[in-house]
Chains A and B, each alone.
Chain A
Amino acid sequence: MSCATVTSLRALPRVAAMLVAVAVWVVPVLWVVATSLKPRTDIFTLPPRLWFTPTFEHYRVALGTADILRGLSNSALVATLTMLLTLLISIPAGYAYARLRFPYREPLFFYTLFTQMAPPVGFLIPFFLAFSRLRLLDTHAGIVLIYLSMSVPFAVWLMTTYFLDVPRELEEAALVDGCSRGRALVRVVLPQVYGGVAVTAVLSFINAWNEFIYASVLTGARVRMAPVAIFGFLTTEETLWGPFAATAVLIMGPVVVLALLAQRQIVRGLTLGAFR
């Protein structure tokens, strides 16, 4: 047996594992996309029909449903606001934890991380009680405020790790040249962590866009979010698979696009916790 055959035979299980991995995680997603484009009569044909004339009928139905359209725009608004506020709050905090000396720095950082340990179900009851008194139920402000509780701890921690990677010398040089700390932060340090800002932005947007528990209890008809609205196609009386799949694609589409744009950074952001 020649050397080349040995290596190619050795590679066989690896190639097989690769194909299995891609199939296991990609096929279900493609299946949703295919269903969303199938004519109604083809959705339930067995064996599954792989060749069909694509139709946008289900998307028309989905977007023609007031609840879905409003859900998508509410979700987009709330996720964008959450992302912007998260950046506004967490960039300065991350910088301070990474660079400045101040009393109780470690305990405060630990506190920030620790707040995200609590399961969201734990916050539902207090938020419900508080929001019904403060008249914040079913308002954009209320739900954005709650989403900050999910995104701020994570974002502060992520930004801190990115600021720690910036060489101190850069900033010290700027300080020596007469820059104030604020100016040095904006002009010299911030451009070095644009990657980190992008990951923080993308992940806080995705988290808010995907959120379900708070949205299901603390919002109603006015501020209904897309992940809650999609349940409307799956009632006990009828299951509209076509429009359901189309809505699923509309909800997951933006997330997938963002993930494709920033995949390396997101993988780093998601797995960072395992290495620190």
Chain B
Amino acid sequence: MRPSRIYPSPGEGPAASAELPGAVPGGRALPRLDREARLALLLVGPSLAVLLAVSTVPLLVLLGASLFRIELTRPWVGGFVGVANYAAMLEDVRFWHSLQVTAVYTLTSVALQLLLGLAFALALSAVVRGQGLLRVAVLLPMILTPVVVGLVWRTLLLTPRYGLLDYLSILLGLGSHSWLGDPRLALGAVIVMHTWQWTPFVFLVLAAALAALPVEPYEAALVDGATPWQRFRFLTLPLLRPAIVTVVVIRLIIALRAFDAIYAATGGGPGTATEILNLYAYRVAFNSLNLGYGAALTTALLLFTLGATVVFGRVRGAVEASP
């Protein structure tokens, strides 16, 4: 379990990639190709060495750690435990709860992002003036420091009575609420926050896709006297389908990685109301210092993300292949 190569020394890169099977195709290859291949391996070598060291080796260490009992508060109880951590996980009510929260959080926020992003893209597709301002406006939430965004929502926007959004809620007659402190409201509040952050992404992709749609079908539809709704339902929507599927796939995969903003806003609380699987694993590993069990939870998280990526990739491929 000792990660021996976490720190690539200079010169290790090319050497590491020269060991790849097939890197030296023997005397069969033409001298020119051979030189090209060697140059290529020299150029990609450093990137492969870095990724091997900081991404593949750590994953193997993670898998290993999930089979051990590692509790920093009780260092004397260590040792190999096999799949005991995974067995414990299946009986862990909090694990199942965090899966449920992750599903609600991910699916709801991506659905909202798609609806709002599509609506904005359709409404703003023909606006000529102010595109520059609009681009800056929608760029902001995506690039701002996520953890600071979470803290700003927690304080300046959602604090009862003094937060801007709570003030709006009072003005609208909905009253003042402890948005992040009330277990019934907290999950909804962080979903709204995530939607605020990432609707612009959906908007930008769909706006670009809309701009690239062919004009002819619309001209034909106008001649045939199609209503705006018919044009949307039978032309725009089918034509946008590949872009919509792609954007949903990307958003779902990235939403599964969400951590910073929700950590800053609620830390998973109140209680476990907003505790997505990411946050639960983090809390187990670095608040309870139970690294072995935390490793098992993050391995489960990795498998979910991997599964989702493969499944979504298939869906995307199928949609793109269909006429």
Contact = CB atoms under 8 A, between A and B. Distances in A.
Interface string A77-107: 0000000000011101101110011111100
Given A104-B20, A118-B302, A212-B260, A89 B246 contact: no
Interface string A248-273: 10011001100110011011001101
A168 to B, nearest CB: 14
Contacts of B167: 46-48
Contacts of B162: 43-44, 46
B134 A18 contact: yes
A86 to B, nearest CB: 9
Given A31-B156, A252-B145, A267-B139, A126 B65 contact: yes
B86 interface: no
A196 interface: no
Interface residues of A, number: 95
Interface string B110-143: 0000000001100110110010111111111111
Contacts of A259: 136, 139-140, 143
Nearest to A260: B136
B124 A17 contact: yes
A100 B40 contact: yes
Interface stretch (A59-67, A109-117, A187-195): A109-117
Interface in B295-323: 295, 298-299, 301-302, 305-306, 309
A134 B59 contact: no
Interface string B1-43: 1110011000000000000101101000000010011011111
B306 A117 contact: yes
A124 B285 contact: yes
Interface string B149-183: 00110111100011010010000000000000000
A264 B305 CA distance: 31
Interface stretch (B76-84, B200-208, B218-226, B231-239): B200-208
B278 A119 contact: yes
A263 B137 contact: no
B7 A149 contact: no
Given A133-B2, A206-B143, A248-B152, A148 B309 contact: no
B46 interface: yes
B243 interface: yes
B126 A14 contact: yes
Nearest to A217: B286
Nearest to B35: A181
Contacts, number: 284
A130 B64 CA distance: 13
A162 interface: no
Contact of A26 (B44, B126, B140): B140
A124 to B, nearest CB: 7
B151 A95 contact: no
Contacts of B33: 101
A51 interface: no
B282 A124 contact: yes
Contact of B61 (A24, A126, A136): A126
Given A29-B144, A125-B291, A212-B260, A22 B133 contact: yes
B47 to A, nearest CB: 4
Contacts of A256: 140, 143-144
A198 interface: no
B268 interface: no
B7 A148 contact: no
A266 B57 CA distance: 31
A21 B137 contact: yes
Contacts of A244: 151, 155
Interface of A: 13-15, 17-18, 21-22, 24-29, 31-32, 35, 43-44, 46-48, 88-90, 92-93, 95-97, 100-105, 108, 111-112, 115, 117-131, 133-134, 136, 145-146, 148-149, 152-153, 156, 181, 206, 209-210, 212-213, 217, 227, 230-231, 234, 239, 241, 244-245, 248, 251-252, 255-256, 259-260, 263-264, 266-267, 270-271, 273-275
Interface of B: 1-3, 6-7, 20, 22-23, 25, 33, 36-37, 39-44, 46-48, 50-51, 53-59, 61-62, 65, 70, 119-120, 123-124, 126-127, 130, 132-148, 151-152, 154-157, 161-162, 164, 167, 196, 200-201, 203-205, 208, 243, 246-247, 250, 253, 256-257, 259-260, 263-264, 278, 281-282, 285-286, 291, 294-295, 298-299, 301-302, 305-306, 309
10 contacts: A28-B156, A35-B156, A89-B46, A112-B48, A145-B6, A241-B156, A255-B143, A259-B139, A260-B136, A274-B208
